[in-house]
Amino acid sequence: MAEVKVAHLVASGQALTALRHLSDPALQTQLGMGQVWHLRGQAYGELGQYREALAAWACTVEHLGETAERHVQQAVCWLHLDQPMKALRHCDLALQLDPHHDRAALFRGVALQRLGRYDAAYGAYHQALGAAPCRRVPAPLRAVLAQYRGKTEGLVHRMMARNPKLKAWLKRQGRKLLQGSGRAVLH
């Protein structure tokens, strides 16, 4: 029950309160240190304290073991810290553990894009969507894509304005992916 309460605090924007609760020795005993580190990682991430979140995720892995989701959480932190190579490494580890992990493929694409490896990034985005352009995208992935699109849309348009060759290449790639769908890709 205590775990649900702390997780709710994090999800409802009360990460500082959640961190205070997680400092309680009785709660630590009740939850176990692995779960305490897991919740701390989530809380620090919500607060934008990504170095602290990385340390918490490392402790979570030490106590509870590796999972694809824990590697994705670390990858997201590295992306926020502008370390796409480290993020890419964690996404690759996540995909080794779970080759069908949508978020791992999505953030792998983000890392590759930031590294300037656009063809590979496009492939990772395609993998995140399930390799079929007309497939219905699961709601959680749609939400992540929308959130990421909102943060990067301006960046892509600024890059295209400075580099006409990139704009032409992106349009060609978009047409290939959405061929026959009747949707415009870039304006």
Per-residue pLDDT tens digits for 54-103: 999 999 988 899 999 999 999 999 999 999 999 999 999 999 999 989 88
The answer to the question of residue 152 being in a domain is no
Q: What is the pLDDT of residue 178?
A: 47
Number of domains forming the structure of the chain:
1
What's the domain range around 89? 2-138
> Are residues 133 and 181 in contact, defined by beta-carbon separation less than 8 angstroms?
yes
Per-residue pLDDT tens digits for 133-154: 444 555 665 665 566 555 555 5
The answer to the question of residue 123 being in a domain is yes
The answer to the question of residue 9 being in a domain is yes
b/e 34-52 (16+ beta carbons within 10 angstroms → b): ebbbbbbbbbbbbbebbeb
* CA gap 88, 79 in Å, rounded: 9
> Are residues 113 and 120 in contact, defined by beta-carbon separation less than 8 angstroms?
no
The answer to the question of residue 126 being in a domain is yes
Domain containing residue 67: CATH number: 1.25.40.10
Percent of the chain with pLDDT over 90: 29
Q: Where does the pLDDT of residue 112 fall: very low under 50, low under 70, confident under 90, or very high at 90 and above?
A: very high
The answer to the question of residue 153 being in a domain is no
The answer to the question of residue 33 being in a domain is yes
* CA gap 104, 102 in Å, rounded: 6
Per-residue pLDDT tens digits for 90-102: 999 999 999 989 8
Task: Give which of 30, 24, 42 is closest to 3, Cα–Cα.
Answer: 30
**Mean local confidence (pLDDT), 8-30:** 79
> Are residues 78 and 90 in contact, defined by beta-carbon separation less than 8 angstroms?
yes
Q: Where does the pLDDT of residue 6 fall: very low under 50, low under 70, confident under 90, or very high at 90 and above?
A: confident
Q: What is the pLDDT of residue 180?
A: 44
The answer to the question of residue 80 being in a domain is yes
Q: What is the pLDDT of residue 110?
A: 92
The answer to the question of residue 164 being in a domain is no
